[in-house]
Structure 1
């Protein structure tokens, strides 16, 4: 026994020494907040059972989502799934969630409605009990759909669309049910005694919910500043990924975040990205509350009201993004380079953990680890295997996509801000382009300057104009899409992988082996 204790002590000592040598490898304990109590300043409408439904802001773009029929139907089906699960939770059918309810929802997801569905008609008991919650959900879902409609509208240019998005946001914020657009600390919002109950007890249905949230956040970069004629082709790939994979994942560490999946949109409209994340966190909180069997019906109702209060715009009136006491209700800090995302479990100002990708610095290129340019062409994004990453240059985009199995989408800046390059690959890595005469510059030099010597142009004429302004590129030849596609420079020497443990998962416990026959 003494030998066993000696080995155990040595194990602890060595582990402690290693932690001191590599403090970044330490696993910090999860925040554990006490059960919240009702605040004294709850908005009066929270105690009203009326639905108070509000319709869309009038506009010629409404229902433009139907221009991409498969996308529209998938989005309409998400509301049906939410409603069915909530109705099961409040009518004593929670034991059927992973079996009968899951199968029913799955059937709807495979046979989607062709028009929007009134969730209240599917979940009457839930609405009767939590009508005040439905006000918040419905109003935020309206913002979801109208934002999509504006970007899908064929009649306006990008400038006018973005102006209308700003008006939509003001329209949304004018109602008391609006969710704050400030980043919120997700670790805090997921730290209550009931937190994680739903994903633990009902992993398959939770997978569906988080699959919906993946779809509801990945679509914005598919649409933002993308020509309307090039949106549907992207959804052919994204929709397939959603229906075949993302809906059925039960291995996510945390819910999908808007800035993870639509970083261009989140950087341009951080307040909308934050509002969507805060909405989805409210969904998670409500799921967990209703799944917590130790709470009485009165306690569940109170906790739902508190969860609503936490994310309302009125609760955070006068507060500013980037400020607040860490890991509290009013923590509005965000990672460097991404104001459209709150702080996550284990994150700091420089790094955050992305499920499936590991630790990332969102102010750096995901492929070469060099800081993203502050000005000029923003580079490109790569969408593959369910994630979207921002890179500095076309070389990084191509080579990062090549490292990932399956199809990919590259969205890239050209010399013309109004002409976004959209390229989609097949399973063999052959690329198609939305710009017929696209040509590429690639004269490999020092990687910190890659955004100069690796770029895309809408034509050879524009290529020649740019090269003429860059003496160091004299003699550079334009590459066709086929020529450019065949190149591959591998992983840059500048790339650094951030080696830290997954903060959402406990490290395996190391048990010392038996010594001298002692067990």
Structure 2
């Protein structure tokens, strides 16, 4: 797989990376204690296999979008933490325009370093950033498996199980595979602040979550490679309809896997729950940073407390059945709608995998 950047087409990305690298160098000395804590959260390589990078090689149009998403998540937190007085204006203004009119239209061909894009945010809560990065790696590897093992359900299931098992070997970073109730995201004193302050950028982030999950159902709908090609392109096209159509086309509630990716959620419930918990914590961190009632000197502790709850399997846990019901109760249309699947179904549906906690 080639990960080379076409430098003649990437002047914007080069400027961003150069500028943010400078910020990193200047910020390190100011946050020695946070950096020391981050040292406990060492980087770890993905689980290598024959499937590695298959998605990027086969579907670069979809894969490159995730590099732009990395920028979107990082700049959202960076603006709110470093420049709280202007964050609301900038995120729903120039940053929203940059993403929808430039970065998403011509996304970077290589993954961006979120700590370079958001150096102040990375030093505020490196533990939570590491959680996000570890889960994003699982996302990318699952796409690889679904592409590589198309038409081989037994091998695909075994490789998915291997990846989830490997993901869980890092309890300091791994999201719980038990579903969390909605109160953890929407019932706290700081909840809902970001979606009220920045409805456009919030909807844009939810569109990221929509495509991340609907791609799974697009790839599972048929074992035929030609069908998968059509379905993946249809999902990407629908995503662009959302982002090019303005605020009115974006999801108005957080997309949940049981509603927008029912096939994936039935076959691989642990992975789907991990991703719903990931997406919920993204919202929680946004709310904590946006809510002025959380004092600045308490934001790190509040983020880490919330992060710990999303890792454990005891606090705010609900049942798998309630998770599925909750996803459907929130309204499929409001979540962005189902995956458009022009080609389905060819194979017989796989037997549901029983969740360990069910």
Q: If the length of structure 1 is used for normalisation, what is the TM-score?
A: 0.55
Matched residue, 1:263:
262
Could you tell me which residue of structure 1 aligns to residue 11 of structure 2? none
Q: Which has the higher strand share?
A: 1
Map residues 368-447 of structure 1 onto 2, 5 A cutoff: 386-388=337-339, 409=342, 411-412=344-345
Give 1:55 deviation, angstroms: 1.8
2:211 is the alignment partner of 1:234: no
- Report how far residue 141 of structure 1 moved: 0.5
> Deviation at 1:84?
1.6
Is the CA contact 1:97–1:205 (under 8 Å) kept in the aligned structure 2? yes
Map Cα deviations across residues 253-293 of structure 1 (whole Å, 9 max, x no partner): 42001111111110111111111000000000000000112
- The residue correspondences of 1:344-359 to structure 2 (distance < 5 A) are 344=326, 352-356=329-333
* Whole-Å separation in 2 of the counterparts to 1:229 and 1:153: 14
Q: 1:167-219, CA deviations, whole angstroms, 9 ceiling, x for partnerless residues?
A: 10000001021001112112443111111110111011111100100011111
C-alpha separation in 2, matches of 1:183 and 1:417 = 24
The answer as to 2:86 corresponding to 1:109 is: no
Given the superposition, is the C-alpha separation of residues 306 and 353 from structure 1 closer, same or farther in structure 2, using an over 3 Å criterion?
Answer: same
Give the alignment of 1:246-285 within 5 angstroms: 248-249=246-247, 252-285=251-284
| Correspondent of 2:213 among 214, 217, 223 | 217
Cα distance in 2 for partners of 1:181, 1:246 equals 30
The correspondence for 2:69, drawn from 68, 78, 84, is: 78
CA–CA separation in structure 1 for the residues paired with 2:80 and 2:233: 34
Instruction: Measure the CA separation in 2 of the matches of 1:154 and 1:181.
Output: 23
- Alpha-carbon shift at residue 357 of structure 1 (Å): 7.0
Structure 1: give runs of 5+ residues left out of the alignment: 1-44, 320-328, 359-384, 389-406, 419-519
Tell me the residue number matched to 1:53: 43
Taking structure 1 as reference, are residues 203 and 47 closer, same or farther at Cα in structure 2, changes over 3 Å only? farther
Match of 2:321 in 1: 335
Going from structure 1 to structure 2, the CA distance change for 1:187 and 1:342 (only over 3 Å counts) comes to: farther
Structure 1 residue 156: Cα displacement:
7.2
Counterparts of 2:114 and 2:293 in 1: how far apart (Å)?
27
Are the counterparts in 1 of residues 221 and 228 from structure 2 also a CA contact under 8 Å? no
Q: Name stretches of at least 5 consecutive residues in structure 2 with no aligned partner.
A: 1-33, 351-358
What RMSD, in angstroms, separates the aligned Cα atoms of the two structures?
2.6
Q: Map residues 498-509 of structure 1 onto 2, 5 A cutoff.
A: none
Q: Measure the CA separation in 2 of the matches of 1:75 and 1:63.
A: 13
| Cα distance in structure 2, aligned partners of 1:125 and 1:355 | 36
Kindly state the Cα deviation for residue 387 of structure 1 after the two structures are TM-superposed: 1.8
Equivalent residue, structure 2, for 1:165: 160
Q: Distance in 2 between matches of 1:46 and 1:160?
A: 41
Q: CA deviation at 1:56?
A: 0.7
Which structure: larger Rg?
1
Q: CA deviation at 1:105?
A: 2.3
2:121 aligned with 1:126 = yes
Rate the CA distance shift 1:199–1:330 in 2: closer, same or farther, 3 A. Answer: closer
Structure 2 CA distance for aligned equivalents of residues 269 and 150 of structure 1:
13
Picking from 45, 65, 79, the partner of 2:55 is 65
Shift of 1:252: 3.7
Q: How many residues align?
A: 307
Q: 1:245 aligns with which of 219, 242, 245?
A: 242
In structure 1, C-alpha distance between the alignment counterparts of 2:321 and 2:346, rounded to whole Å = 24
| Normalised TM-score (structure 2) | 0.78
Residues 389-410 of structure 1: CA distance to partner in whole angstroms, max 9, x if unpaired?
A: xxxxxxxxxxxxxxxxxx7535
Give me the whole-angstrom Cα distance separating, in 2, the residues matched to 1:81 and 1:168.
26
Q: Which has the higher helix share?
A: 2
Secondary structure of 2:294's counterpart equals coil
Deviations 1:82-118 (A, max 9, x none): 1122211121141311112222222211110112222
Q: Check the 8 A contact 2:131/2:174 in 1, yes or no.
A: yes
Aligned-partner Cα distance in 2 for 1:287–1:357: 20
Tell me the distance in 1 between the aligned counterparts of 2:35 and 2:181. 23
- Once residues 224 and 408 of structure 1 are traced to their aligned partners in structure 2, the CA distance between those partners, rounded to angstroms, is 10
8 Å contact from structure 1 (residues 47, 132) kept in 2: no
2:297 corresponds to 1:298: yes
Larger RCO of the pair (alpha carbons < 8 Å, separation 6+): 2
SS of the equivalent of 1:283 reads: helix
